[in-house]
Amino acid sequence: MNKTLDYIIRFLLGDDLSPDLCATIGYTSDRSLFHKYTTVIIPSGFFDEQTYGTPASLPPLPLHEIEGIPLLFGVPRIEKIGDTLVTHADLIASSYFLISRYEEMLKRNSRDEHGRFPGNESLPYRAGFIHRPVIDEYRLLLRRWLRETNRNIPEIPKGIRKINLTHDIDAPFLYRSWKGLVRHFRDNRSLTGAIRAKFGPLENDPFYTFPFLFEQNNALTSISDNAKAQAFYFLKAGGSSPQDKPHYNLKSRDMQSLLDAIKRQNGTIGLHSSYQAGREPHYILREKKRLERAVGHPITCNRHHFLALRQPEDIESLEAAKITDDYTMGYADIAGFRLGTSYPVQAINPVTRRLSPLTLHPLILMDCTLDDPKYMALGDEEATIYCLELFEQIRQVGGEVTLLWHNTSLIEKPESYQRKLYTLLLNELIRE
């Protein structure tokens, strides 16, 4: 547990500062120890054995605020005791609650039809701060307090420090299978047309929007230095739930040609763990091995299909499969900051309170979250405004942007704004 709390202090401080500084921050209510620290955070009691894991540990609404930032635990009181700044705002428990998905452990019955914890039942949504990376805001606050105790702490540079352009390949092609040929014939009543759709140039397939996608992504990845912008392609490699259809053969000529194209773009290939693996996490390893055999190199990145990494403790199965980086952590129904941060953060299992070596890259924005009538149901303009507001929040705290656009969202069709919006957002990010 101490290792977990030490990590949270380190995470709150920021990775640009010396780790020695962590020792100057105390997490104690023992007044006789205050003089050892420049800053003391008084524990709110959240971690006490009689409280942790019980309904009484959930923060009541409305929340307190400290300097305009929602505070989950403790009270916004600050005092000076001797040379030590002492705060009763429990930034550590507040951060732990969000990073560990503690609420999801406690509310096991709150799940949608896919077994996922719904964003609209989450505390960040109910308390009205899902669009704010509050932990990153705590970081700015803590660093300002340290500066007040005469520490030489630099300001965090404003701006977006990293951009992850990610794509889940649920259905790479529409007409390239025998089933696709039949579908084409049924829809168009032309046998030559259907044969051409299956055997002709891949680029003519409506789902194969990759040439456009690569061109868009390249405009950003090729100008950014130090790999500031990186593209990821998550591929399925199994799953027998109906939601795992359509299946594609990773070794087929079409898939091999797509894989080659991704490699030529320096794209990173990751595992798109199946819906079934979301229910039965031991399947993750099997799927990862299958993908590794098809691409010929180790796979270390993951995103779950349907974002269905259902229980917080399922991170253990990712770890067991030697996945080092996961990109699943966003809500399908609301875009924003599920983990309270825009920074990559080590996972915490709230059941065991153990710090995991797995890094979570918070997913900020998924295409269908914005326009799906079941989710945010935003029109063109509202969606653009919401996305740009999230970017601005990240700029203010110097964090990272992770976007998820499916190849099938980028089809040109009058009823969808996704292709236009993706282009607009990338143009916005190029100016960073």
Name the residues that contact Zn ion, by CB under 5 A.
168, 170, 305
- Candidates 318, 293, 232; CA nearest to 268 is 232
- Give the nearest residue (CB) to Zn ion: 305
Q: Which two tokens stand for residue 163?
A: 């951009």
Angstrom distance (rounded) from CA 113 to CA 174: 27
Q: What is the 3-state secondary structure (H, E, C) of 388-430?
A: HHHHHHHHHHCCEEEEECCHHHHCCCCCCCHHHHHHHHHHHHH
In the bound state with Zn ion, the residue whose beta carbon lies nearer, of 241 and 416, is 241
- Please state the closest distance from residue 246 (CB atom) to Zn ion, in A: 11
- Please state the closest distance from residue 259 (CB atom) to Zn ion, in A: 17
- Please state the closest distance from residue 274 (CB atom) to Zn ion, in A: 9
What's the farthest any 2 CA atoms get from each other in the chain?
Answer: 86
- Please state the closest distance from residue 272 (CB atom) to Zn ion, in A: 6
In the bound state with Zn ion, the residue whose beta carbon lies nearer, of 168 and 326, is 168
- Please state the closest distance from residue 168 (CB atom) to Zn ion, in A: 4
In the bound state with Zn ion, the residue whose beta carbon lies nearer, of 95 and 209, is 209
- Candidates 183, 159, 180; CA nearest to 171 is 180
| Helical H segments across 164-225, by residue range | 178-188, 191-199, 210-221
Angstrom distance (rounded) from CA 27 to CA 88: 10
- Please state the closest distance from residue 306 (CB atom) to Zn ion, in A: 6
In the bound state with Zn ion, the residue whose beta carbon lies nearer, of 66 and 255, is 255
- Candidates 134, 165, 127, 230; CA nearest to 363 is 165
- Please state the closest distance from residue 305 (CB atom) to Zn ion, in A: 4
Q: What is the DSSP-derived secondary structure letter of residue 329? A: -
For 371, left (φ over 0), alpha (ψ -120 to 50), or beta? alpha
In the bound state with Zn ion, the residue whose beta carbon lies nearer, of 274 and 311, is 274
In the bound state with Zn ion, the residue whose beta carbon lies nearer, of 168 and 333, is 168
The enclosing H or E element of 295 equals helix 283-295
In the bound state with Zn ion, the residue whose beta carbon lies nearer, of 5 and 271, is 271
Angstrom distance (rounded) from CA 414 to CA 63: 43
